[in-house]
A and B are shown apart, each in its own frame.
Chain A
């Protein structure tokens, strides 16, 4: 063995011994640091959680594992329950969800808060329309939101209060609030009401698409989105990521039925295979990538499956997009109907035109036929004096 080879062999041996000795420390250093996630449910149907469980690329377990997420609390998935004995929370956080949440809110900070569902503010600002474990959800939410590093509001109930804030006789009484907006109004978002400054990212939809949520969480956790610095140019005016809710595209642009629209082949009854516009499809008004991303393991989406888009990602949903199955231009305005108003006006004008034509031609008086309005110049001048 020559000297050069000996030194090389010693070097390799030293390196391998070093790697062996510090293997676990090196792996730890290379792993993603743990990110804590608090997932709360307000007023909603839990459809968004169901939608998240349907996610496929990645699925929710893969998401938690790969990104090293620690799911602190998720009402639907965890095993703890609210246990009360003689009106007081019993046992420990191992079994009691209320105690667990209490401990999280007291001890944790800087977590990602996933907000599913809206926050009730009624009646009269008390928030008592949703009480869990003896506390209003509004109170719990305030604490949770203040200590979060970022709020990711998922689903229309959270982003804009959705069906909870839709026009109804009890809307004012219930006063359900979205996180950053209530319908289109940012001043009515719960964070505004409670003076919370935590940045909010909205993932709209009824429900939200798992890809939209998981990819957003991933981007935040991996530092691809720097919160809050990157948010102003990554989000649109409704705080939605432009990548999923493109301001310059609507679902209609990429719809597989678009060719029928271009040919003017429009279905007038459900069950057909052509463009659904006349059946009230809101694809032309809805900003989302449904038509390219697809749902249900990326297989299909509403219009492709035969149902007109109901515009569930739009800020005023459902008020701004209903009646769901009536074309917007056909839905009426202030109690009238555009086509009827236009038809009556144009028809009336045509009738008037006909009457006018008859009057000016057939029913003309003899003196008019000879010429009239022949006022003398002096008369005119006299009149102007």
Chain B
């Protein structure tokens, strides 16, 4: 690595909209989990109506962030359709390189080998080659799926005959659930309630993995600062990150 004082070593890791999306997502999710479990378990630290009101206020924030802002953030990067697709694949989809990194991380946990860098910046291209912890890439896909399921089941729990522009969405969801529910010995609405709670538990589980394992490492705490506030990463700090220097490929080929 080069000098620690080189100002060019500081790059933008998270854009402003990335940071807003993450913060709003985190707050909304925590509010939803707490109020949801209060409604389900009947905890008496707040009234049912307050919990339900907070729950319903948090929903549009979570959905707007996940279904509008995050897709915008993902697909505003990269040039051209193929560029956007490859950016998405490189940054968010678990691939063979991520599998190798994850394997090395696990080995490192048991004292064998180095902890591989998972945040790799390409100086020549001027953007990250990959940015997230390999396990995060798995969690993100599962999170998106869980979010879809909890939102869909939540529509029916919110209002059994909810419709949008005259389309009977809740009835459709109940009908689709009715195709699966009998196999599990449940009614459609019962299955949707079950699914809603199961996904809630998933989010708690995911939160523990995300915060408690992936991010519970003093060397990773620099990313907390980045995601919540600065958005910057100083590549001179080599923990878990590396950068591909400009012309390095060219130099390497010359050798």
Contact = CB atoms under 8 A, between A and B. Distances in A.
B123 to A, nearest CB: 9
A321 B204 contact: no
Interface string A237-250: 10000000001111
Contact of B218 (A167, A341, A361, A374): A361
Interface stretch (A1-9, A219-227, A348-356): A348-356
Interface residues of A, number: 61
Nearest to B212: A353
A60 interface: no
A373 B251 contact: no
Interface stretch (B7-15, B54-62, B79-87, B174-182): B174-182
Interface residues on B, range: 35 or more
Contact of B201 (A315, A342, A353, A356): A342
Interface stretch (B23-31, B113-121, B225-233): B113-121
A184 interface: yes
A65 interface: no
Nearest to B247: A381
B138 interface: no
Contact of B213 (A250, A353, A368, A385): A353
A356 B213 CA distance: 6
B70 to A, nearest CB: 24
Contacts of B212: 349-350, 352-354, 356-357
Interface in A257-292: 261-266, 275, 278, 282, 284-285
Given A377-B245, A380-B248, A349 B205 contact: yes
Interface string A150-175: 00000000000000000100000000
B194 A382 contact: no
B253 A360 contact: no
Interface in A290-346: 311, 314-316, 319-322, 328-329, 333-334, 338, 341-342, 345-346
Contact of A247 (B160, B219, B238): B160
A23 interface: no
Interface in B66-85: none
B117 A346 contact: no
A357 B216 contact: yes
A264 B43 contact: yes
B252 A338 contact: no
B201 A338 contact: yes
Instruction: Name the prevailing secondary structure of the B interface residues.
Output: helix
A378 interface: yes
B51 to A, nearest CB: 9
A142 B36 CA distance: 51
A319 B249 contact: no
A184 B251 contact: no
B53 interface: no
Contact of B47 (A263, A284, A311, A380): A263
Contacts of A372: 114-115, 238-239
Given A249-B160, A263-B47, A285 B189 contact: yes
Contacts of B159: 248
Given A372-B114, A377-B243, A380-B242, A314 B187 contact: yes
Given A285-B189, A385-B252, 19 more contacts: A262-B47, A263-B44, A263-B48, A264-B38, A264-B41, A314-B187, A321-B190, A329-B40, A333-B184, A338-B198, A353-B209, A356-B213, A360-B218, A375-B117, A377-B245, A378-B251, A380-B242, A384-B244, A384-B252
11 contacts: A167-B185, A184-B178, A262-B47, A328-B194, A333-B184, A338-B194, A338-B198, A341-B201, A356-B212, A357-B216, A360-B216
